[in-house]
Amino acid sequence: MRTLRRKDTATLLAECEARYRALMELVPDAVWIHSGGRIVALNGAAQRLFGADSAAVLLGSEADARVPPGCRAQLEQGLYGDLALAQLQPRRAVQLLRLDGAAVDVEYFGCRLWFEHGEAVMCVARDPGERRHGTHDALTGLPNRALFLDRLAHAIRRAERRKERLAVVFLNLDKFKQVNDTLGHAAGDELLRLVAATLRGSVRDFDTVARLAGDEFVLLLDSPLAGITPGMIAERIGEQLARPVLLAGQEHVITGSMGLSLYPDDGTQAESLLRQADIAMCRAKEAGRNGFQFFTPEMQQRVDARVTLEQGLMRALQRDEFVLHYQPQVDLASGKVIGLEALLRWQSPDLGLVPPLQFIPVAEESNLIVAIGSWVLDKVCATLRAWIDAGVPVVPVAVNVAAAQFAQQDMEAMVRETLQRHALEPGLIELELTESIPLVDPEASIALMHRLKAIGITMSIDDFGTGYSNLSYLKRFPVDKLKIDQSFTRGVASDPEDRSIVTAVIRLAHSLGLRAIAEGVETERQVRLLARQGCDEIQGYYFSRPLAEDGIVAMLRSGAALELPPGGIGGQHVRMAG
């Protein structure tokens, strides 16, 4: 107390100033003070944050120049309380501008105070370098999902007060996977960085650009300017993206699909706006990529219907609501039924009998198809076992296999185990694969096909001609049959092109030592033409629709056969045996 009294006011003030200086330099946060619109004091962290070589560059400069115009109001918000109380603003995520014009994301708050007889504002910003971790994407430096949602939530609250609108743009690159797979991950990373820069360059500084994951980017278009619609901005982004880029030494044209959702039109919650923009983006992809779509309630209904369907399918498995119908396959040489195809139906308590095309695609996307596929094989084996035990003259049954099932590690074990459980001869089971299945990972698929073949089952290629047939692979597939797709069968009697395709497929099958079966045969004319081309088997409404178990058992017992005219229907079949 005594020492204190001995010091004069000037010394005390000098000490106070030194303490405050030391404190300002010690804190890791950027601190600066502006008064009368000019920066009047700052610490080293602020100098680094703004990218200034020395404090002198910033001292006396305009404080507003360090803030993107759209963020200024946000910085002032809550600042004008009682000056004497030095109330701190709540922290907020804002952007500041470096001297080189780059925007930096910071956590910011400020308070009002007196500075050299004038009213001033002290600003504190947390250096992004210190806490970037957790809020930013390391590859592009853009805000991540968490920070985006935080910003969006803030923007929504502000827009609510000001009666403004906001737009969320969800962008997904078209064919990014292709770039990664063909040019390598380094090129993929480079592309993502280029896209990040392009997006930043296509919007205003205070708009947020974030990277959610992979090639998913999202933009928050804040307080839209009069006359410039989000649609115009999306269009501009599309144009900028489509400019050629240099990747791995070559020019590439990259496009993206975008979905837009609007506040308050589509919703008032950050999460739901983001989800809606995502849904709209998926629709833009479906609509042929390289474009954008605005979210509509109808899109949501479709998504909801899908979710309901998925849940329905899950319950269908648990409650045993699936049933199999069987369609006969007839040998054109003998007229006899030599096989059946098992076709799945869903006997839904709410929807009635649902055909597979209404639920298989959904089951495939949700991977439920793996469980459903196992159920089908088990059911077919159990049914065959029961028929054999009851003395029904059985024929082999073909089971459709989805791509996802074929990609399962334990596919072979599953088939083997199911056959054993029902003590069934493997020759009674045929697997129908589509052309696209073996092409996902050709070598692995061919190896699996050989292992399945070794068990003793047969295989066919379904819907042949509709996929991308790679003939060099086809040669290596250990399959027994090609199934000519019904779209070609339909035209065989009327469309010369279809007839040529059918003829070519039959020849191809025979030259590879395989049998050819035409699907969807409905008329006698089709039967005659197919027979004349040397087609081995037919399947279709002409002989029989798919039948429920009772019907097919009756047919097998009765020995029903296709009535062939005397001397056969097609004349000589020229076949090169394999």
Q: Is 432 in the site for Mg ion (CB under 5 A)?
A: yes
Residues in region 508-527 near Mg ion by CB under 5 A: 519
The structure tokens listed for 226 are 């009069």
The structure tokens listed for 53 are 């070589």
Q: Is 344 in the site for ligand C2E (CB under 6 A)?
A: yes
| Dist CA 228 CA 454 (whole Å) | 66
CA 95 to chain CA centroid, nearest Å: 31
Going by C-alpha positions, the residue among 35, 154, 149, 20 that lies closest to residue 91 is: 154
Q: Are 199 and 219 in contact (CB under 8 A)?
A: yes
With CB under 6 A as the contact rule, the residue among 156, 343, 474, 555 that binds ligand C2E is 343
Q: Is 546 in the site for ligand C2E (CB under 6 A)?
A: yes
Count of helix runs (H) and strand runs (E) in the chain:
22, 21
Residues in region 421-440 near ligand C2E by CB under 6 A: 432
Q: Is 520 in the site for ligand C2E (CB under 6 A)?
A: yes
| Dist CA 431 CA 408 (whole Å) | 15
Report what 223 binds from Mg ion, ligand C2E, none; CB cut-off 5-8 Å by kind.
none
The structure tokens listed for 105 are 């994301």
With CB under 6 A as the contact rule, the residue among 127, 321, 522, 549 that binds ligand C2E is 522
Report what 128 binds from ligand C2E, Mg ion, none; CB cut-off 5-8 Å by kind.
none
With CB under 5 A as the contact rule, the residue among 278, 430, 462, 536 that binds Mg ion is 462
Q: Is 267 in the site for ligand C2E (CB under 6 A)?
A: no
* Burial of residue 197 (number of CB atoms within 10 Å: 0-12, 13-18, 19+): middle
Q: Is 355 in the site for ligand C2E (CB under 6 A)?
A: yes
Q: Is 537 in the site for Mg ion (CB under 5 A)?
A: no
Q: Is 328 in the site for ligand C2E (CB under 6 A)?
A: no
Going by C-alpha positions, the residue among 554, 515, 549 that lies closest to residue 535 is: 515
Report what 355 binds from ligand C2E, Mg ion, none; CB cut-off 5-8 Å by kind.
ligand C2E
Write down the least CB distance from residue 312 to Mg ion, Å.
Answer: 23
Q: Which is nearer to Mg ion, 174 or 519 (CB)?
A: 519
With CB under 5 A as the contact rule, the residue among 47, 374, 400, 405 that binds Mg ion is 400
Q: Which is nearer to ligand C2E, 122 or 381 (CB)?
A: 381
With CB under 5 A as the contact rule, the residue among 463, 498, 536, 537 that binds Mg ion is 463
With CB under 6 A as the contact rule, the residue among 44, 291, 356, 467 that binds ligand C2E is 356
Q: Which is nearer to ligand C2E, 43 or 539 (CB)?
A: 539
Q: Is 430 in the site for Mg ion (CB under 5 A)?
A: no
- Residue carrying the six token digits 């063909």: 182
Q: Is 327 in the site for ligand C2E (CB under 6 A)?
A: yes
> Which positions ≥6 away from 154 have C-beta within 8 Å?
74, 92, 93
* Stretch touching Mg ion by CB under 5 A, among 175-183, 270-278, 311-319, 427-435: 427-435
Q: Is 418 in the site for ligand C2E (CB under 6 A)?
A: no
Strand order in 216-221's β-sheet? 208-213, 216-221, 166-173, 256-263, 292-294
Q: Is 402 in the site for ligand C2E (CB under 6 A)?
A: yes
Going by C-alpha positions, the residue among 452, 526, 455 that lies closest to residue 488 is: 526
Q: Is 517 in the site for ligand C2E (CB under 6 A)?
A: no
Per DSSP, the three-state class of 300 is helix
* Burial of residue 71 (number of CB atoms within 10 Å: 0-12, 13-18, 19+): buried
| Dist CA 259 CA 291 (whole Å) | 9
